[in-house]
């Protein structure tokens, strides 16, 4: 069987799944992109940079291809982490951290010019938002991995907290967009100020080394005046992580909850049901991730398999977030996330069984084997899911994902939508 015939056979099998459904695809005609970015840095500084950057791209390059290339910069750096500093703690070569900064900045640039390219080439479509935000969902894991490596967090609680907080920030914005119909970015937000600050942190690590993040604050002359505000021997790395967590809890979370509350009232939706659908399954997912990592019976920290763990659960998170994005675009009911969360909850319970019931059900070898299997399963699952959704969108809209080509039907749909992507 040739590759072409294999590809055709697989495509036919995917199309036979009837996913997305015809009703979901029909609802794409009501799609309208809406976003609000309150950041002064975006409005008065970066906007001019992005308007210049888009002129560097030829008109023949598809917006989604720009998005994908941007993501590949991050994937390349994740590979560097896995090969050079897999313990997320060792001192890597200076160029590695400069590469982190360049890769993240280019990802952000490409992520912001893809919408401009879509408007330049008159190829705006719902697929653009799905593809863009789907890549962003995966990138949350990649960013947290690079941050952990650049700050030398290692296989510790700080890395676990950073990973969970990064996922939670993106998920809350995604859920908010589902209920409000608007992607809201505040005066200080992750995609703008957060990326700038992270790039500066990467550059710092490249200039002064990872060890500089682990000097107690009271031992740094220029920062010693802050020592009364934090516990003794607190390091800059700890402030970075816990500061990010506090910003999530006290700024981002209340705004999202209030926005969803107002949207539910305006649409006469059951607020309790919205919470049960959107917040509870994801909260369980985050707690299960954290409890698995912090279990004294797990091999993830003990045998240093955190990179594998984050790529596994991060891919599953990408699938979770992408399902919510798809529901938003197709005006569908909020997806049932419990069956996606279940594998992590089950593994968390199995790993912690010695402390729950006093029995051991998983050996170290079994846990590692299952983690490897889950990694392959989640990557395959996400790949097939993405292929099915992208193929469905392309067939309905009459477009191609990574190539600029539209028929009259796509012109009609695109004309009825307004997209920043």
Phi-psi region of 400 (alpha: psi -120 to 50; beta: other; left: phi over 0): beta
Which tokens in the block code for residue 143? 């960013």
**Residues 292, 348 contacting (CB under 8 angstroms):** yes
- Cα separation, 255 vs 59, whole angstroms: 39
For the residues of 19-66, what is the DSSP string, one character each? -S-HHHHHGGGG----EEE--HHIIIIIHHHHHHHGGGS-TTB-HHHH
Q: Residue 395: is it exposed, middle or buried by C-beta count within 10 angstroms (0-12/13-18/19+)?
A: exposed
**Residues 318, 138 contacting (CB under 8 angstroms):** yes
Q: Tokens 């914005």 label which residue?
A: 173
β-strand pairing of 183-185 with 35-37: parallel
CA 411 and chain centroid, separation:
31
So which residues are the catalytic ones? 133
Q: Tokens 């703690």 label which residue?
A: 89
- Cα separation, 292 vs 300, whole angstroms: 8
Q: Let me know the angle formed at the C-alpha of 342 by 171 and 144, rounded to the nearest 5 degrees.
A: 40
Say whether 216 sits in a helix, a strand or coil.
strand
Say whether 406 sits in a helix, a strand or coil.
strand
Q: Is the peptide bond preceding residue 20 cis, with omega within 30 degrees of 0?
A: yes
């Amino acid at each position: 069987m040739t590759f072409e015939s294999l590809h055709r056979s697989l495509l036919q099998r995917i199309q036979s799944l009837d996913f997305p459904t015809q009703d979901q695809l029909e609802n794409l005609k009501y799609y309208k992109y809406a976003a609000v970015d309150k950041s002064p840095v975006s409005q008065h500084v970066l906007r001019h940079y992005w308007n210049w950057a888009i002129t560097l791209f030829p008109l023949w390059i598809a917006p989604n291809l720009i998005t994908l290339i941007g993501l590949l910069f991050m994937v390349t750096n994740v590979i560097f982490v896995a090969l050079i500093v897999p313990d997320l703690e060792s001192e890597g070569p200076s160029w590695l951290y400069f590469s982190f900064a360049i890769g993240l900045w280019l990802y952000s640039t490409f992520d912001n010019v893809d919408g401009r390219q879509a408007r330049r080439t008159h190829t705006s479509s719902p697929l653009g938002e799905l593809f863009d935000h789907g890549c962003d969902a995966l990138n949350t894991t990649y960013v947290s991995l690079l941050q952990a490596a650049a700050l030398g967090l290692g296989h510790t609680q700080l890395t676990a907290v950073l990973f969970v907080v990064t996922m939670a920030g993106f998920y809350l914005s995604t859920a908010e967009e589902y209920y409000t119909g608007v992607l809201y970015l505040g005066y200080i937000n992750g995609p703008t100020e957060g990326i700038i600050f992270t790039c500066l942190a990467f550059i710092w690590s490249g200039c002064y080394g990872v060890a500089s993040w682990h000097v107690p604050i009271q031992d740094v002359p220029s920062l010693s005046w802050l020592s009364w505000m934090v516990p003794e021997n607190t390091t800059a790395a700890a402030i970075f992580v816990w500061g990010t967590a506090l910003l999530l809890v006290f700024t981002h979370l209340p705004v999202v909850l209030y926005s969803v509350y107002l949207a539910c009232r305006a649409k006469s939706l059951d607020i309790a049901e919205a919470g049960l659908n959107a917040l509870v399954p994801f909260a369980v997912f985050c707690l299960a991730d954290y409890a698995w990592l912090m279990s004294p019976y797990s091999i993830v920290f003990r045998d240093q398999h955190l990179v594998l763990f984050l790529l596994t659960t991060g891919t599953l998170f990408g699938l979770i977030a992408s399902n919510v994005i798809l529901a938003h675009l197709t005006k569908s009911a909020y997806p049932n996330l419990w069956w996606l969360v279940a594998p992590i909850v089950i593994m968390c319970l199995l790993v912690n069984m010695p402390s729950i019931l006093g029995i051991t059900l998983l050996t170290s070898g079994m846990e590692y084997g299952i983690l490897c299997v889950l990694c392959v399963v989640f990557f395959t699952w996400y790949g097939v899911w993405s292929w099915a959704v992208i193929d469905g969108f392309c067939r309905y809209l009459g477009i191609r994902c990574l190539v600029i080509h539209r028929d009259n039907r796509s012109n009609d749909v695109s004309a009825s939508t307004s997209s920043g992507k």
